[in-house]
């Protein structure tokens, strides 16, 4: 996946760089680079995925199931 930026009329280098960074962030490129910066053992990758899944389940659980009922 190649990200290309063409300069717009009257656009400074700083603005172009900012637009490029936003595109990279939107594509998930920076997150991927940070994740692949160091080797991660397959068992650690699996453990991280399981923690992420568990956190998502807790977040999506209904407020009543978590005791978050506001009726008094």
Domain total for the chain? 1
Query: Is 4 inside a domain boundary?
Result: no
Tokens (6 digits) for 68: 């978050």
Query: Is 3 inside a domain boundary?
Result: no
Query: Is 48 inside a domain boundary?
Result: yes
Domain that holds residue 22: 13-60
Query: Is 47 inside a domain boundary?
Result: yes
pLDDT score, position 64: 60
Average pLDDT over all residues of the chain: 87
- Please, which pLDDT band fits residue 22 given cuts at 50, 70 and 90? very high
Query: Is 28 inside a domain boundary?
Result: yes
pLDDT one-digit tens code per residue, 50-66: 999 999 999 998 666 55
Query: Is 46 inside a domain boundary?
Result: yes
Q: Are 52 and 35 in contact (CB under 8 A)?
A: no
CA dihedral 29, 34, 35, 40 (to 10 degrees): 150
b/e sequence 8-24, b meaning 16+ C-beta within 10 Å? eeeeeeeeeeeeeeeee
- Please, which pLDDT band fits residue 71 given cuts at 50, 70 and 90? low
pTM beyond 0.75: the answer is no
Q: Which of 1, 3, 2 is nearest to 20 (CA)?
A: 3
Query: Is 72 inside a domain boundary?
Result: no
């Amino acid at each position: 996946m190649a990200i290309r930026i063409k300069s717009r009329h009257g656009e400074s280098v700083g603005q172009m760089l900012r637009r490029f960074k936003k595109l990279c962030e939107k594509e998930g490129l920076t997150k991927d680079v940070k994740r692949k910066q160091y080797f991660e053992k397959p068992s650690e990758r699996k453990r991280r995925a399981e923690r992420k899944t568990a956190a998502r389940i807790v977040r999506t659980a209904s407020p009543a199931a978590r005791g978050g009922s506001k009726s008094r």
